[in-house]
Amino acid sequence: MKLIAIFSSKNAFRSSIKILVLPLVIVVCIACGEKSTNEAEEDWIAIFDGSNYGDWTPKFTGAALGVNYRDRFVYDDGLLSVRYAKTDTFKGNFGHLFYKEKFSHYKLRATYRFVGDQMTDGPAWAFRNNGLMLHCQEPGTLGLDQDFPISLELQLLGGDDNQPRTTANLCTPGTNVVLNDSLFTTHCVNSVSNTYHGDQWVTVEVLVLGDSLIQHKMEDKVVMAYSSPTIGGGNIAGYLDSAFKEGEALKEGYIAIQAESHPIDFKRIEVLNLCGCMDEKAKNYKSYYIKPDNSTCIYE
């Protein structure tokens, strides 16, 4: 009888241990699941979210850095817009608005729409035309009378309600790229995107991997791809010789939007940085990072 009692109490003890251990296993599994989810969860940064206007700096041809010439970049109703007064006339004063940080490996996503009429004397090619300027030179190195920054332009075009007109094209102010395995020195080339007529909201995305690969995407489809961007070619004026280092690889740079004579609204502009902590032991490790920057790792 005593043996039976001892055996029974042992069984009860084992059962209680199982009851205690099971929740711990569940908790551990849940924690593992959360870590895995967090590692893969994409941390998009809203470089424009409707309020952070102070993160952007304007530069217009003929005006000093930081001067918002005739208030053409407008922040209103949660939008970042380009606007022109009815009495305003275009005189070659192109504008660019630069975000405060530079990036090398990243995804960029923007939602935009063209609105209204082009300003008086705007160039014909600038009708419903804007751009996301990638790998831009540092804003402080632009010449006073420089028209476009040395950069890669993801060209945004709106339809004219008549003819096909692709968007997410490529233009190369002061740069050259490799396109279809050949050096491309022509200024602009069309993508294979659809045409977006009217004042509809449109979302564009680009993948930038340093100087190895750049892809423009519309509706999750790659519509333009190129590689090996370098400083060179023409299609810019007024630049400082110190900034134009012909043949130098463009591996990183600033992001800017344009003011080229047609009104446009941006509702949101986001960046997913692909450069960061790649030590799996760190709290801020991300499985989607491509380029390591372990100086950013956090372990506590």
Q: Are 148 and 235 in contact (CB under 8 A)?
A: yes
Residue pair 73/256 in contact by the 8 Å Cβ criterion: no
Element holding 281 (H helix, E strand):
none
Pair of tokens at residue 166? 């692709």
> Does residue 94 contact residue 143 with C-beta atoms inside 8 Å?
no
Torsion of CA 87, 90, 93, 98, to 10 degrees: 70
pLDDT in tens, the chain (300 residues): 333 333 344 444 344 444 444 444 443 333 333 444 589 999 999 999 988 899 999 999 999 999 999 999 999 999 999 999 989 999 999 999 999 999 999 999 999 999 999 999 999 999 999 999 999 999 999 999 999 999 999 999 999 999 999 999 999 999 999 999 999 999 999 999 999 999 999 999 999 999 999 999 999 999 999 999 999 999 999 999 999 999 999 999 999 999 999 999 999 999 999 999 999 999 999 999 999 999 999 998
d(CA 218, CA 227): 19
Contact between 230 and 249 under an 8 Å Cβ cutoff? The reply is yes
How far, in Å, CA of 102 to CA of 256, rounded? 10
Per-residue pLDDT, 20: 41
Q: How far apart are CA 108 and CA 125, in angstroms?
A: 25
Are 209 and 263 within 8 A, CB to CB? no
- Rounded distance between C-alpha atoms, residue 71 and residue 5, angstroms: 90
pLDDT of residue 37: 53
pTM over 0.75: yes
